[in-house]
Chains A and B, each alone.
Chain A
C-alpha cells in the first residue's frame, strides 16, 4: 500500500511538473471572445505558422473576458486580447489597462477599423441577423420575418429567442443598434427615455427566452426549440452546412454590427511573444482564415464567405461606438430593470 501511495505521488508530481513547466517555447497567453469553433481553427493555424510560440488560450464570453481583466488588473494573467468587441475595449483604454501597439502591417488596415494611437486594431466585423427555422415556420404557419418590426406580430408569441445583452456581445449590439435606429434623437436624452425601449417591451411579449450566448439563439432555433433566433450571420452558415432547416434574414431596418479587436495588455508578462502573435493576427493569411467565417474582415480586398451575402449588399445600422461604449452600463441597467424578472 505504501508503494502504491509512493507511486501515486511520483506520477502526480511528474504530471504536475511536465504540465506546469511545459516546453522551452516562448509562452503567450491569449484571451479571446471569438466563437469556439472559429477560434479553434485560427489558433491551429497560428500554432503552425508561429512554431516557436507556446500559445495558451481561453475562450470567454464578451462579459466574462472583461470581468477577468478587471479581476486580474493588479496581476495580469493574459498578454493579449484577441477578437473582443470594440464597445468593451474602449472602456479599458480609459482605464489604462492596454499598451498601444501597432502590429506589423498596421498601415494596411483602414483608419475606421483601428485606434489612431494603436490601442486596438480590428480584425473583422460581424453583424446581427435573424435566423428562422423554416420547418417550424411552416409547421406553425408563421410568416417569414423581414426585420425587427415583423417580430412584433403576436403570432410569434413565445417563439422568439434573443441573447442577454449583459452576457453576450451579440445581444448588446442588437440592443444598441435598435437604440440608435429607432430614436434618431438618442444622443440628446438619457438612455432610459430612448424610444427603442417601448419597441423592446413589445418584443418582450413574444420573447421565449433571453439566453446567455449570442450563437445559442440560432442553435436552439435550428434544433426546433424556437421559430426565430436573434443571432449573428456566420452561425447561420455553419448550421446550414450541418443540414439544419435554417434561413438567414438581415434585418431590413439595418443590421447592427460590431468590430472585433485585438490589443496588447499593459503589464503583459510575455510582451515580445504577444507582439509576434498580434503581428500574425492581422496578417493576410490570418485574415483569409477569418474570411471563411466572418461577414467582413478589415484587411482590404478579401471577400467574405461564399454562403453569406456580400458585405456591400447588406444595409448596416448606423452604429455609434463611442456613445454605446460610454453608456454601456447604463444601457444594461435599464435593460435589466425592464426584462429580468
Chain B
C-alpha cells in the first residue's frame, strides 16, 4: 500500500468515526425524547381524557362546557360519597396495622438473633406471587358465612364480609411491600447507637422509643404511605370480600359498568387520585431523605438477644408466617376439595374451568407477561442508563414522568385507556399490545428505580474507558452496560412478569373477546359463584410465577450474586 492510499484510508476511517460521533451526539437526546413522549402519550394523555370527561359536559373540551355537575352529583349522593369515607377508613386502618406489624417483624429480622430468618423473609414475600384477590378468597373460605372456622369450628354467626374483610385481606396483601422498605431502613440504621444508649443505662423500653423508632422514622412513614396507596387503589380484594361495602375503586367500576356513567366513573377516578397522589408525594419526599441517611451506614454484628426476647420474637414472626401460609394453603387446598367444607374428597374437577377463557386465558397471560417482562425490563434499563449516566438536559422532567405511574391507580389508568384509545385509528386497541403497554406503564416506577440503583453500582470508569477507547453510546450500552446489568435486567424482567401475571385493576377494562387474562378470569369465576375454580385459577398463577422465580434464583446463582436479595428487591 502506498503512503497516499494509507493516508486516504486513515482519513476515511477518521471520517467514518467522525460521522458516528455526530450520530452519537443525537442518540441520547433522541432516546430521551422517545421515552418521554411514550410516557406522555400512554400515561398523561389517558389521564387528560379522564380529567376532560369529569370536568366538561359530555367530555367536550371548551370553556362553555366547563362544569362541576359531576362532582356535585358525587358529593350529594350518599352512597357514592360513602365510598370515599369507606376507602379512607379501610386504608387508614390497614396502614396503621401493617406499619405496626411489619415494624416489629423487620426489627426481628434485623436486630435479633432468632433462628430461621431466611424462612421468615421468604414467607413474608409470598403475597407478591398471587393476585390481590387470593387473600379475600381464602378469608371467605375460612371466615365467611359458611367458613371453616366461623361456622364449623366455632359455630358463630359472625362473618368477615365488609370492612373487616377488606382490612384483613389488605393487611395480608401489603405486608411484603412494607417489609422491603422497613427491612432496608432498619438494616441501614447504625445499631451501635442502641448499644451506646443501653450501656449508658437506658432501659430497653427507653432505647426502643428514643433511639430505635426515631432513627427509623423515615422508613416507617415511607412504608405507611406505600401501604395506604396500595390499599386505597386495590380492586381485587374489595370486590370479592367487600359485599355491600363499596370503596372508591369498586364504585368506579360499578358506575361505569352498571349505570353506564362514564362521566361519574371519571369523576370518582379524580377523587381517588387525590389521596393516592398525596400518599405518593409523601413517600417520594420521604424516601429521598431515607436514601440520604442510608448511605455509608455501618452494619456491625448483632449481639445475641436475650432468651425471652428471642422466644417472643420467634413466636411473633411464626404467627405472621402462619397466617400467610394459611391463606395460600386454603386457596390451594380449596381448589382440590370437592365441596368446601362439606365434602373433603379430592378432585381435579375445579380445574375444568367453566368459563369461555379457561386454559387459553392462562396461556395468554403467560405470553403477554413474557412480552411485558422483556419490554419493561429493556425500556427501564435504557431509560435508567440515559438518565443516570448520560444526564440529558431533560433529566428532571423525565425522572418525574418515570416515577409518576406509581401514583396512578391501575383502574384509573385502565379507564383512561378506554376513553383515550378507543378510536379506529389507534390500531393497537383491542389487541394484546394495549394490555402490554398498560402493564409496562403502570409498573414503570419500580422498574426504573431498581434500574437506576443498579446502574449506580457499576463503576463509571468502566464506561469511561469504553468511551475513551472509541466506543459510541450504542456500543457502550450493548457491550458494557447491558452485560454488566444482566442480573438486574433479569430481576426486572421477573418483576414485570410477576406484576403482569397478577394485576387485576389495570386490565379489568381492557380484556376482550380475543384476549382473556387469567387474573381477570378469577374475578369472573368468583362472580358467578365458581369459587373453587377461582381458587384453581389462582393456584395456576401462583405455580407459574413461582416457576419464574425459580429460574431467577438459578440465573442469579450462576452469575454469582446472592439470590436471596433478589426477591426482596422485586
Contact surface of A with B, Cβ cutoff 8 Å: 1-2, 4-5, 8-9, 11-12, 15-16, 19-20, 29-31, 35-37, 39-40, 43, 56-59, 61, 63-64, 66-67, 70-72, 74-75, 77-78, 164, 166-167, 208-213, 215-216, 218-220, 223-226, 243-244, 329, 332, 336-337, 340-341
The 23 listed contacts between A and B (C-beta, < 8 Å) are A15-B370, A19-B364, A36-B356, A37-B354, A40-B356, A43-B356, A56-B513, A57-B356, A63-B257, A67-B256, A71-B418, A72-B422, A75-B422, A75-B423, A164-B258, A167-B254, A213-B528, A219-B528, A219-B530, A220-B529, A224-B146, A225-B144, A332-B259
Q: Per-residue 0/1 for B63-90: is the Cβ within 8 Å of any A Cβ (1 yes, 0 no)?
A: 0000000000000011100100000000
A78 touches B145 (CB 8 A): no
Is there contact, CB below 8 Å, between A341 and B262?
no
Contact of A71 among B79, B82, B422, B493 (CB under 8 A): B422
Residues of B close to A8: CB separation below 8 A: 370, 373-374, 493
Specify which of A15, A36, A74, A220 lies most central, judged by the most chain B CB atoms within 10 Å of its CB: A36
Interface string of B419-444 (1 = CB under 8 A from A): 10011101001111000000000000
Other CB < 8 Å A-B pairs besides A70-B260, A77-B513, A216-B528, 4 of them? A67-B257, A75-B423, A213-B529, A220-B529
A30 contacts B161, CB within 8 Å?
no
The residue that B483 contacts in the complex, of A1, A167, A337, with Cβ under 8 A, is: A1
B13 interface residue (CB < 8 Å to A): no
Contacts of B243 in A (CB 8 A): 209, 211
Closest to A212 in B: B527
CA distance A253 to B490 in the complex (A): 64
Q: Residue on A with the closest CB to B152?
A: A224
Asked if B367 CB lies within 8 Å of chain A CBs, one says yes
CA A298 to CA B342, docked complex, whole Å? 39
Q: Are A213 and B354 in contact (CB under 8 A)?
A: no
**B257→A167 contact, CB < 8 A:** yes
- How long is the Cα–Cα vector from A57 to B146 in the complex, in angstroms? 34
Sorting the interface of chain B by its residue count into under 10, 10 to 19, 20 to 34 or 35 or more gives 35 or more
Bound Cα distance from A164 to B251, whole angstroms: 13
Give chain B nearest CB distance to A165 CB in angstroms.
9
Q: Roughly how many angstroms separate A308 CA and B435 CA in the complex, as a whole number?
A: 43
In the complex, what distance in Å separates the CA atom of A3 from the CA atom of B241? 45
Assembly CA distance A77 to B371 (angstroms)? 23
Contact with A along B355-394 (1 / 0, CB 8 A): 1101000001001001101100000000000000000000
- Which of B78, B490, B514, B528 is within 8 Å of A215, CB to CB? B528
Contact of B146 among A19, A39, A223, A337 (CB under 8 A): A223
Q: Are A341 and B258 in contact (CB under 8 A)?
A: no
In the complex formed, the residue of B with least CB distance to A36 is B355
Residue of B nearest to A332 (CB): B259
Closest A residue to B426 by beta carbon equals: A75
- The reply to whether the CB of B524 lies closer than 8 angstroms to some CB of chain A is yes
Residues of B contacting A337 in the complex (Cβ-Cβ under 8 angstroms):
77-79
Asked whether, in the complex, the Cβ of B262 is within 8 Å of the Cβ of A16, the reply is no
Question: Given contacts A8-B370, A63-B258, A74-B424, are A341 and B244 in contact (CB under 8 A)?
Answer: yes
- Closest Cβ neighbor of B482 among chain A residues: A2
* Residue pair B356, A16 in contact (C-beta under 8 Å): no
What A residues does B254 contact at CB under 8 A? 166-167
Interfacial chain A residues near B246, Cβ < 8 Å? 340
Chain B residues whose C-beta falls within 8 Å of the C-beta of A5 in the assembled complex: 374, 486, 489
B244 touches A340 (CB 8 A): yes
List of 7 A-B pairs having minimum Cβ-Cβ separation, nearest first? A219-B529, A166-B258, A340-B79, A225-B145, A15-B367, A58-B513, A1-B486
A143 CA to B565 CA, complexed, in Å: 61
Q: Do the beta carbons of B356 and A59 come within 8 Å of each other?
A: yes
Flag whether B401 is at the interface (Cβ < 8 A): no
The answer to whether A341 and B529 touch across the interface, beta carbons within 8 angstroms, is: no
B511: Cβ under 8 A from any A Cβ:
yes
Taking CB atoms, residues of chain B closer than 8 Å to A224 are: 145-146, 151, 342
A213 in complex: contacting residue of B244, B339, B355, B527, CB < 8 Å = B527
> Is the Cβ of A9 less than 8 Å from the Cβ of B432?
no
Inter-subunit contact A216/B527 (CB<8 Å): yes
A71 to B430, CA, bound (A): 12
Asked if B177 is an interface residue, CB under 8 A from chain A, the answer is: no
Is the CB–CB distance between B483 and A2 below 8 Å?
A: yes
Task: Check: B512 CB closer than 8 A to any chain A CB.
Answer: yes
Asked whether A29 lies within 8 Å of B513 as measured between CB atoms, the reply is: yes
Chain A hits for B499, CB < 8 A: none
Considering the chains assembled together, what is the distance between the CA atoms of A43 and B356 in angstroms? 9
A130 to B62, CA, bound (A): 52
Contact B259 A12 (CB under 8 A): no
Does B145 contact A20, Cβ atoms closer than 8 Å?
A: no
The answer to whether A74 touches B422, judged by C-beta atoms less than 8 angstroms apart, is: yes
Partner of A225, one of B146, B483, B489: B146
Q: Are A39 and B356 in contact (CB under 8 A)?
A: yes
**Could you say which residues of chain B place their CB within 8 Å of the CB of A219?**
528-530
- The answer, yes or no, to whether B121 is at the interface (CB within 8 Å) is no
A5 to B489, CA, bound (A): 10
One of B82, B422, B432, B513 near A30 (C-beta < 8 A) = B513
How many Å from the CB of A88 to the closest CB on chain B?
Answer: 10
A126 to chain B, nearest CB (A): 15
- Identify the closest chain A residue to B340 (Cβ): A223
Known: A12-B374, A209-B161. A31 touches B513 (CB 8 A): yes
With A12-B374, A70-B260, A71-B418 as known contacts, state yes or no: A59 contacts B529, CB within 8 Å. Answer: no
A56 to B514, CA, bound (A): 6
Question: B370 contacts which chain A residues (CB < 8 A)?
Answer: 8, 11-12, 15
* Residues in A neighbouring B489, C-beta threshold 8 A: 5
In the bound complex, what is the Cα–Cα distance between A156 and B514 (angstroms)?
44
Q: Report whether A332 and B258 are in contact in the complex, using a CB–CB cutoff of 8 Å.
A: yes
Q: Within 8 Å CB of A15, what residues of B?
A: 367, 370-371
Chain B 77-132 interface residues, beta-carbon cutoff 8 Å to A: 77-79, 82
Instruction: Give complex CA distance A1, B367 in Å.
Output: 20
CA–CA, A36 to B528, complex, Å?
8
CA distance A209 to B165 in the complex (A): 15
A15, B373: Cα distance in complex, Å: 14
Q: Are B355 and A64 in contact (CB-based, < 8 A)?
A: no
B342 surroundings in chain A (CB, below 8 A): 224
